[in-house]
Structure 1
Amino acid sequence: MINARQQGYLLLAITMCIWGGFTLSTRLSALWGISAWDLVALRFMLAFCLLMPVLLYRKDTAFLWTRQSFILAMIGGVGYCLTAYSAFHFVPAAHAAIFLNGCIPLCTALAAWLLFRQPFDRHTWISVLIMLLAIAAMSLLMYQETGVAFGFGDLLFFLSALWWGVFTVLLRQWKLSAWHSMASVAIWSALVYVPIYWLFFPKNLSGPEPLHLIGQTLFHGIFVVIIATLSYVEAIKRLGAFKAGSIVTLAPFIAAILAVPLLNEPLSLAIVCGLLGMGIGALQPWRWWGRKDSLSQQIERQNKPS
């Protein structure tokens, strides 16, 4: 039997593979001609079909009829997915690591201050400064290379980071369990978005290869929505929020590097600058300096004379 710490790292590895795969697969779906409208609908329809019978069987549906569940779904489900998936149709995968995953810690801190007046700590201010410098250097280099500092896709990624930042803060404030928050997002997103999609949004389900549609639906509807959420929460229980959050943030940056050989995407000096700056700002490596892990701290406390 493996111990709790080893279980935590195993769960974290699963989460990183899925989150990294999210970046690559979503960019791949754009190259395959699968529209963002279609992918969001397929993702939530499958998750709904899998989760709703479980909730009914367990007679665990009361939490769905709260305003918290609905608001979380509209922000972290419909809003986030529409903007994030759409962005991949305009810019390469590396931009997601910079303007989406790199900006999520900043947007989360900003949302906490705007909604609940939670002040920035010293580490957040350092991260903000590093990120702003990285974005400024990246925009300057991009302008020199292409004549354009930012694209529409970058704006959509940043908007997605804002959605996720607000979602994270509300989730933390309302203290919903991982299972209830995940089910709320999946169920309400399907109930609200799918009918609107079928009635009003353009559809292109006959254009892409059926195998591509099935693969993307299974990956996003099962692995991203359900498995990654549960594995990440369980990893936090075993390793702590700081260590788990810091390590898993690397996944999208690794995916951005892998996109160069796998998807034949360019890796310019501007992108490298953005990846390094946003990665350092998001990970906050200076917080690791001189920091002892939880096991060492526990042993130290036990050895202290009473």
Structure 2
Amino acid sequence: MMTSRTQGYLYVAITMCIWGGFTITSRLNAIWHISPWDITALRFSLAFCILMPILLYKKDTAFLFKKEPFILAMIGGVAYCLTSYSAFHFVPAAHAAIFLNGCIPLCTALAGFFLYKQPFDKHTWISLVIMMTAISAMSFLMYEETGVAFGFGDFLFFCSAIWWGIFTVLLRQWKLSAWHSMAGVAIWSAIIYVPIYLLFLPKHLDQATMPHLLMQTLFHGVFVVIIATLAYVEAIKRLGAFKTGSIVTLAPFIAAIIAVPLLNEPLSLAIICGLIGMGIGALQPWRWFAHKDSLQTSLEQQNKD
């Protein structure tokens, strides 16, 4: 029998593989001519077909009629997917690690401050300084190399980080279960987005091959939407929120390095600078030496009370 700690690391490994795969496969969408409109519709359509029968069988649909799952779906489902998938059509995978995954902790802290007046702790301030320094150095080097400091894809990735930061804060504030959060986002995203896609949005499914469409639909509709979400929550239960979040944050950065030989993508001095700086800022390695995470201390105090 595996210990709870070992199970936690197993769930972390599963999450890392899927999150890293998200970066690689999303970039492949651009190479395989699968548009952001198409993959978003395919992703939520498949998840809907899997989850809705389960909810009906369990007679667990009442939560869908509350405003919280709908709002989460529009922000963390439709808006996040459209901006993030679109960004991969403009810039390499390494930019996702920097401007999306690297900025998510910062955007989450900012969303908490603006929405619920949650103050920054010292770790957030340290991360902010490191990230701003890394982005400034990276933009200077990119301007020296190409004459352009930031691209449109970088802007879209940063918008995606903002959406995910707001989504995370709302999810934490509303205290929905992992199952209800995941199912609500998938189902409401499908209900709202798919009809709009079918009626009004451009479709380019004929430009991609059937094996590519099937692979991407299965991976993004099942592995990303369902399996990664549940594995991530199970890892948090066993290892704690900070340790789990720190480890899985490595996945997109590792994927960005793998994309260099796998997808023949460039790796300049500017990108290396951005990856290192944003990686350190997102991981906050100095907190690993603290006796106890502040979040874990707060949870233990609540349990005592």
Q: What TM-score bracket applies, with the shorter chain setting the length?
A: over 0.9
Deviations 1:219-257 (A, max 9, x none): 000000000000000000000001101100000000000
Deviations 1:8-33 (A, max 9, x none): 00010000000000000000111110
Return the alpha-carbon distance in structure 1 between the equivalents of residues 219 and 125 of structure 2: 36
3-state secondary structure, aligned to 2:207: coil
Could you tell me which runs of 5 or more consecutive residues in structure 2 were left unpaired when the two chains were aligned.
298-305
Return the alpha-carbon distance in structure 2 between the equivalents of residues 227 and 239 of structure 1: 18
Q: What's 1:265 paired with? A: 265
Q: What's 1:131 paired with? A: 131
Percent same amino acid at aligned positions? 77
Q: What's 1:19 paired with? A: 19
Q: Report the residue type matching 1:170 in the other structure.
A: L
Return the alpha-carbon distance in structure 2 between the equivalents of residues 209 and 69 of structure 1: 34
Q: Report the residue type matching 2:61 in the other structure.
A: T
Return the alpha-carbon distance in structure 2 between the equivalents of residues 19 and 2 of structure 1: 24
Q: Report the residue type matching 2:95 in the other structure.
A: H
Return the alpha-carbon distance in structure 2 between the equivalents of residues 288 and 210 of structure 1: 46
Alignment of 1:179-218 (within 5 A): 179-218=179-218
Q: What's 1:91 paired with? A: 91
Return the alpha-carbon distance in structure 2 between the equivalents of residues 178 and 290 of structure 1: 28
Alignment of 1:111-260 (within 5 A): 111-260=111-260
Deviations 1:176-234 (A, max 9, x none): 00000000100000000000000111001111110000000000000000000000000
Return the alpha-carbon distance in structure 1 between the equivalents of residues 36 and 291 of structure 2: 42
The runs of at least 4 aligned residues of structure 1 exceeding 6 Å deviation read: none
Q: What's 1:275 paired with? A: 275
Cα displacement (A) at 1:290: 4.7
RMSD: 1.0
Q: Report the residue type matching 2:112 in the other structure.
A: A
Return the alpha-carbon distance in structure 2 between the equivalents of residues 261 and 113 of structure 1: 40
Tell which deviates more after alignment, 199-208 or 12-21.
199-208
Return the alpha-carbon distance in structure 2 between the equivalents of residues 5 and 48 of structure 1: 33
Q: TM-score, normalised by structure 1?
A: 0.95
**2:90 matched to 1:102?**
no
Q: What's 2:300 paired with? A: none
Return the alpha-carbon distance in structure 2 between the equivalents of residues 143 and 200 of structure 1: 38
3-state secondary structure, aligned to 2:21: helix
Cα displacement (A) at 1:291: 3.5
Q: Number of residue pairs matched? A: 294
Return the alpha-carbon distance in structure 2 between the equivalents of residues 106 and 267 of structure 1: 24
